[in-house]
Structure 1
Amino acid sequence: MNIKTRYAALIVILAVLIGAAGSYIGMQYFGAENETPAERLANASEKAENFGSLSEEEQKEFIEKMAGNKNLKKVDQAFSIIKSNALKDVDQQQLVEGAIQGMLDTLEDPYSVYMDKKTMEQFNQTIESSFQGIGAEVSMVNDKVTIVAPIKGSPAEEAGLKPNDQILKVDGESLEGLDLYEAVLKIRGEKGSEVTLKVDRPGVSEPLKVDIVRDKIPLETIYTDTKTIEGKKAGIIEITSFSEETAKDFKKALTKLENDGIEGLVIDVRGNPGGLFTDVQEILKQFIPKDHPIVQVKNSKGEVSKYFSDIESKKDYPITVVMDEGSASASEILAGAMHEAGGYELVGTKTFGKGTVQQTIPMGDGSTIKLTLFKWLTPEGNWIHEKGIEPTVKVKQPDYFYTSPVEIEEPLTYNNNGDKIKSIQEMLKGLGYSPGRTDGYFSEETKEAVETFQSEHQLNVTGEVDAKTAGKLEELIVKKVRDEENDRQMKKALEVLFQ
């Protein structure tokens, strides 16, 4: 086999080996002693991209200096044996990409993933002004595609998808065995097209069927509002994710609110799945004085870097942060810093718990590896991965906020029981009716509550929950959830602000 053919394949594999074992093999060769591992990694990646223009001898020297002969010879030998001797006709590119995927799989890290050229082109949409799909941030948890949070105002939010929902099937096709990005490409689609998801929800015994019409998902990430509480003006900034324009838009929004005379600020990161590490830093630099780190980053060698602002003091007005189980990653960096370094209150429920940082590494042919390189730590050095951040003021939303959509195949009737009935009971209760029990048993009181509801909404009065009755219940519950008067968490955050 021609050496350029063999080593062109191996260099792609080597780009994964850098840092994948946590040892940054050969990094000294690509950078000065005072450079950080991340800077050396960028150097190595740049060399890899230009690999094809090197001579045969330069290629050999490059590879040997990166990882030494022993391991490379083994990989090269396996590649040659399979390519030359396998009974089945083998595509060289598939071998290379299979090797990359296999190495990443050994990390058992859902956040370290490989994206081929085609996948990368499609996922570049997510950093543009908009994309088309259902509008939800997902992760791989226990080999299941799991909702981190639906995007504000998206079809996913409209359909009732919630954090920790696990997507089992897309249009009847199982997602088992697919990596995260393969699965997401099945979920995405053109505006106006419909997709049916089979969803496993924690605490619900039977999978849910969720029909969603895809739409254009704008990536506007900053929303503002003001409230007057006991004669004092409070500003509210909601951050729905951290993208390329978020820090800039946040600064504009904050400046406008301050010019309008706010006397306190609520930062809302509920349902915010995270995003760019750089943008959350820029936002925090406006609030955390320079004598405290904003965040700490720890690499595979245990080396810790601390990030600081350059401001002298805190804002002259009170601030609270409101968060929930859909607040992840960069949202947790913000919450952790605001509390530990700023002394501000956190209102809501415990966050998602993602304490790692990924870096995208181009492979030179349009494909990319997103690799976990660092842990991030709070200003006090706490690692919140798979633990989350606890609020200082715990507030849950009303129970009806957490009800599940109910798919009705056969009417729900007296003396039956199940999770669907439990959801119906919680909806009835949330709308002011008295179903009696709320444990999923269809009691006589539940039947009477259903009859009253049907009578008041011009439905056939049967005491049974058919598709029309369930649909009307869900419609009214969604409307109630969206009414800010029912938002206990925001109300408490505003109350805490001026205590």
Structure 2
Amino acid sequence: MKKALMILLCMVLGAGVYYSADRFIVKRVPEEVSVERSKIEKAQQMIQESYVENVDEKKLLDGALKGMVAALGDPYSVYMDEQATKQFHDSLDSSFSGIGAEITQQDGEFIIVAPLKESPAETAGLKPNDVITHVDNEEIAGLTIYDLTSKIRGPKGSRVQLGIKRGESEKSLTINVVRDDIPVETVAHQLYERDGAKAGYIEIKTFGEGTGKDVKTALDELEKEELSGLILDVRGNPGGLLSSVEEVLGNFITDKKPFMYVEERSGKREALTSAAKDKKEYPVVVLIDEGSASASEILAAAMYEVEGYTLIGTKSFGKGTVQQSLELGDGSQMKLTVSKWLTPDKRWIHRKGIQPTLEVVQPEVFELSPVQSSIVLKKGMNDERVASLQRLLDGLGYKIDRTDGYFSAQTEKAIQEFQKKSRLKETGEVNTSTLKKLESTLELYKKNPNHDHQLQSAIEFIARH
């Protein structure tokens, strides 16, 4: 059954909606299906015979199928016409073009699950749980995920403007994202040392086809250093291949418990068990956050519930369903939620997420986005862009007297200090060159491991144990 399941664990806006799956296994719908068709056939006939204009029969059928699946109210069950199916296949390549952000649809809203690490979406400041409201100033209410994707797609180097609702704020943000090629390099590693302790660090950005092998290679290299402990970082990891998760877990957990269960509508459960390995003698920490979804949550839950490894960070996203791909015979497909997945302790984390064993919140500056403005910001102005500017300056350590959006004399002084440090003309006004320098400074700040409270907590945990 495992190979017959297609776990739709990742949806990335790039050359299309990218679903990572247990290698795209499809099931053809039988030609003879016992379904009551008379009402649908009558409606189709009436439209074709009586509607004021000629109707494309295929377009009508596609619309009916989209509506039928949409009526389920499940963001992970979707109908894809022939064009969308091709787009899906193309986006399973090792690299793709786009903005690099996973989305889902909940309660009629399009929500960012996570921007991929170092993607255009992350650089532009998109955050987990951002709600997309507009694309290039057009409302998107009523669209499917595939309709939205077609609007966000575009050639490398082009720009897409997204309207974003963030948190409880009633004000909408406008974020411009420059599309780019997004190579799927899934694993990075390095070594941190503190007080004589050596902490290995492996970042898993997504669970792709080669991720298991790459993690093993990184682990072998790090273990040559006689590690005091290891950090697995799946923050902002939107998911991927179930088979890759299993490969990675095989390095860390034993078979004393299943690493997950798949539960069908009937209540029947199938246990999936990792190949038996010895538990690591050194401590292992898993970093998670609200952008850790699906495959990342399978890994985190298994690491904690099977072997008791420590989870550090914030609550994960919460996707606990399994999808199967159904081929409809004309090049179109339907992805249908067919079951749930449960943790080793048989918990369903859907829309609940996984709580860390040690909660650590990042500095507020990590939640800030680059300031975007088509006009020069200067003293005396009062709007949300100035408020964003003030919060950013404050987060970067500059003295600010207010963050309410009024461009005060102290704000001007802080800008002059920033410009001086950045070797820019000290005007106290925020033009394009100052905005670009602020953006790059923010990016460097976030990449500095000393500013990463969750990573530092993990290193400290290993040093103490």
TM-score (ref. length: structure 2): 0.86
Structure 1 Cα separation of the partners of residues 188 and 376 of structure 2:
41
Q: Which has the higher helix share?
A: 1
What is the aligned residue count? 440
Judged with a 3 Å threshold, the aligned counterparts in structure 2 of structure 1 residues 463 and 167 are, in CA distance, closer, same or farther, namely same
Answer yes or no: is 1:216 the counterpart of 2:186.
no
Give the CA deviation at 1:343: 0.5
Answer yes or no: is 1:140 the counterpart of 2:105.
yes
The residue aligned with 2:118 is 153
One-letter code of the match for 1:423? S
Give the CA deviation at 1:441: 5.2
Answer yes or no: is 1:199 the counterpart of 2:164.
yes
User: 1:83-482 alignment to 2 at 5 Å?
Assistant: 83-311=48-276, 313-409=278-374, 411-412=376-377, 418-438=383-403, 440=405, 442-443=407-408, 445-459=410-424, 461=426, 463-482=428-447
**Stretches (4+) displaced over 6 A:** none
Judged with a 3 Å threshold, the aligned counterparts in structure 2 of structure 1 residues 370 and 46 are, in CA distance, closer, same or farther, namely closer
Structure 2 Cα separation of the partners of residues 108 and 340 of structure 1:
31
Structure 2 Cα separation of the partners of residues 475 and 436 of structure 1:
24
TM-score (ref. length: structure 1): 0.81
Who wins on radius of gyration, i.e. which is larger? Answer: 1
Q: Is the 8 A contact 1:424 1:470 kept in 2?
A: no
Q: Which 10-residue stretch deviates more, 273-282 or 450-459? A: 450-459
In structure 2, which of residues 12, 25, 28 is the aligned counterpart of residue 46 of structure 1? 28
Structure 2 Cα separation of the partners of residues 384 and 199 of structure 1:
27
Q: Which 10-residue stretch deviates more, 160-169 or 456-465? A: 456-465
Structure 2 Cα separation of the partners of residues 340 and 92 of structure 1:
52
Structure 1 Cα separation of the partners of residues 137 and 61 of structure 2:
31
Q: CA RMSD, aligned part only?
A: 2.5
Q: Is the 8 A contact 2:370 2:438 kept in 1?
A: no
Q: Is the 8 A contact 1:329 1:355 kept in 2?
A: yes
Structure 1 Cα separation of the partners of residues 439 and 83 of structure 2:
39
Structure 1 Cα separation of the partners of residues 176 and 110 of structure 2:
17
The residue aligned with 1:63 is 33
Q: Which 10-residue stretch deviates more, 327-336 or 170-179? A: 170-179
Give the CA deviation at 1:239: 1.0
Q: Is the 8 A contact 2:264 2:340 kept in 1?
A: yes
One-letter code of the match for 2:348? W
Give the CA deviation at 1:183: 0.9
Structure 1 Cα separation of the partners of residues 243 and 52 of structure 2:
49
Q: Is the 8 A contact 1:227 1:234 kept in 2?
A: yes
Unaligned runs of 5+ in 1: 1-41, 52-61
Give the CA deviation at 1:411: 4.9
Q: Is the 8 A contact 1:285 1:308 kept in 2?
A: no
- Look up the SS of the partner of 1:341 in the other structure: helix
Give the CA deviation at 1:467: 4.5
Give the CA deviation at 1:408: 2.9
Structure 2 Cα separation of the partners of residues 285 and 361 of structure 1:
30
The residue aligned with 1:486 is 451
- Look up the SS of the partner of 1:274 in the other structure: coil
Q: Is the 8 A contact 2:29 2:327 kept in 1?
A: no
